[in-house]
Amino acid sequence: MSAPSAKPVKNEASTSNFIRQIIEAGLASKKHAKIRTRFPPEPNGYLHFGHAKSICLNFGLPQTYGGACNLRFDDTNPEKEEQEYVDSIIEAVQWLGFHWGSNLHFASDYFDFMYKCAEYLIKSGHAYVDSQSAGEMRATRGSLTAGGGDSPYRNRTTEESLRLFREMRDGEHADGAHVLRAKIDMASPNINMRDPAIYRIKRATHHRTADKWCIYPMYTYAHPIEDAVERITHSICTLEFEDQRPFYDWLLERLAEGGLVERPLPQQIEFARLNLTYVVLSKRKLIQLVEEGHVDGWDDPRMPTLAGARRRGYTPEGFRRFAERVGVAKSNSVIDFSVLEDCMREHLNEIAPRRMAVLDPVRLVIENYPEGKEELMDVPNHPQKPEWGKRPVPFSRELWIEREDFQETPQKGYFRLFPGNDVRLRYGYVIKCTGYDNATDTVRCTYYEDSKSGTPGADKCKVKGNIHWVSTKHAYAAEVHLYDRLFKLEHPEGIEHLNPESKKVIATQLEPNLRDSKETQFQFERHGYFIRDHGEFNRTVTLRDSWAKS
């Protein structure tokens, strides 16, 4: 698979789109009293970022126009479907903040009706049983530029096709011996209209119907019937289904002619799927990542799944903001991954309390600070939200500071700690660096007693550097996971482009308030946004885009 040719889109705002215009026209003309959409995942994997856009669209439109959205599982392929995936999808949609009430459905709810429709198509001359092998069918199907050829079984009598189809249903034929095909036009320029298969024999236990059926409908046959039965007004799908729309309409017209479905028929509308830089959203490739052990499961925080995003610390509000920002389009484009990260930063900045954390610690000793003395510094929980109040943070003679905040031989323009330089300990005192003890890996300094932040005269101490810290005596030692993008190329094709630096596990020193905090998401000052996950901390996103091109 080649890389997408479209150029990355950095930002694309949208408050209206062509789908809303179609809906508004239908409501204005009284074609629809209210709209009904559906989100129809196949339960053969975990939902990914692309599904988040579809969920926000399908559930968001009825919220805007007064209607309903069905959650429906297209479970027509029992060999690849599992209850685990059903459960994970339900949880993910709820986590995103959407609800379907009593409108939970499965394709398997309609298997009996789909079978009835198939018999009607046979009886009305619109379907036949084909006994060619898969290879023979492929050979007569034609190509994108040349029409196909008729099957030697295309003119089977209605009675013979009906008999064979019932025998298929009753398990009298082996898998692959026959298929039921729609009879349309083998010379059609649209290859999807060249007598597509609509039922196949498949002896597989279904996660809901067990072994009741040994024939299963094809997805392209089942989906329009499900839409019609559920009275869907707008069947919104991605652009790869555009060529399937003629069959979608053909099938529903035939069933409407027989009185099996009601008008007005659902309208299929296609939009551009989500493509992101540095991400693969192919379900096949995501399964490969999991099954081959390149990641730690479907919910690995590096995975572009909603389960992984939740553990990473991404928020439902951030996804909804992202869906609105990238909008809905008719043509494919590639969205820069930083747009998604920016949406998460914006929301996390609003909700995440601030904490101090030292991720690469080096010891700092304040030599003239009294031994055994401790005091509490009043530190704001959020500098832009004074109503959130302050918290006490213990301060003592020995502190942890970031290793990058000290240079024994400073480079030009460096304003933090180096011998002879003054800096402010954030929310604390101004200190002067006196040296570095290589044997004990300790930075040494003295402090100005009258320089404590918030006290009279503290402003007289003017310094250019301001660094954070954690008291060594009170620090909370914890494991922190620093996550980066799973792939190192903008347009990755597969596992050969995995980023070997996508996960780093480090031992850190955190302020003690984090030990028993009821909150789960924080901004570690200067380092980014983090979430507590199973007793550890995962970095959700840095404070700014570290991948920005210079």
What is the H or E stretch that residue 27 is in? Answer: helix 18-28
pLDDT at 455: 84
pLDDT at 5: 39
Mean pLDDT of 61-73: 96
Please pick, among 273, 391, 403, 444, the residue that the annotation labels catalytic. 273
Mean pLDDT of 287-296: 96
pLDDT tens-digit map of 332-381: 889 999 999 999 999 999 999 999 999 999 999 999 999 999 999 999 99
Angstrom distance (rounded) from CA 116 to CA 234: 24
Contacts of 70 (CB under 8 A, 6+ apart): 36, 37, 38, 39, 100, 103, 104, 105, 230, 232
What is the H or E stretch that residue 353 is in? Answer: none
pLDDT at 460: 74
pLDDT at 6: 41
Angstrom distance (rounded) from CA 49 to CA 63: 21
Q: Which of 302, 303, 360 is nearest to 484 (CA)?
A: 302
Cis peptide before 217 (omega within 30 of 0): no
What is the H or E stretch that residue 112 is in? Answer: helix 111-123
Residue 7 has pLDDT above 60, yes or no: no
pLDDT tens-digit map of 77-113: 999 999 999 999 999 999 999 999 999 999 999 999 9
Residue 301 has pLDDT above 50, yes or no: yes
Pairing type for strands 521-524 and 442-447 reads unpaired
pLDDT at 459: 74
Are the C-beta atoms of residues 347 and 315 closer than 8 Å to each other?
A: yes
Strand runs (DSSP E) across 74-218, as ranges? 104-106, 127-130, 179-182, 197-201, 215-217
* Active-site annotation holds for 273: yes
Are the C-beta atoms of residues 527 and 359 closer than 8 Å to each other?
A: yes
Q: How far is CA 508 from the centre of its chain?
A: 29
* pLDDT band at 546; cut points 50, 70, 90: low
Q: By percentage, how much of the chain surpasses pLDDT 70?
A: 96
Please pick, among 20, 283, 444, 532, the residue that the annotation labels catalytic. 283
Mean pLDDT of 262-279: 96
Are the C-beta atoms of residues 357 and 525 closer than 8 Å to each other?
A: yes
* Active-site annotation holds for 390: no
pLDDT tens-digit map of 392-406: 999 999 999 999 999
Largest CA distance in the chain: 102
pLDDT tens-digit map of 103-155: 999 999 999 999 999 999 999 999 999 999 999 999 999 998 899 999 999 99
Please pick, among 12, 42, 324, 398, the residue that the annotation labels catalytic. 42
Residue 510 has pLDDT above 80, yes or no: yes
Q: Which of 39, 185, 32 is nearest to 98 (CA)?
A: 39
* Encoded tokens for 511: 């302020």
DSSP 379-399: EES-TT-GGG-EEEEEE-SEE
Domains and CATH numbers, the chain: 16-271 (3.40.50.620), 286-328+342-347 (1.10.1160.10), 362-370+393-471 (2.40.240.10)
Contacts of 83 (CB under 8 A, 6+ apart): 43, 207
Amino acid at 135: G
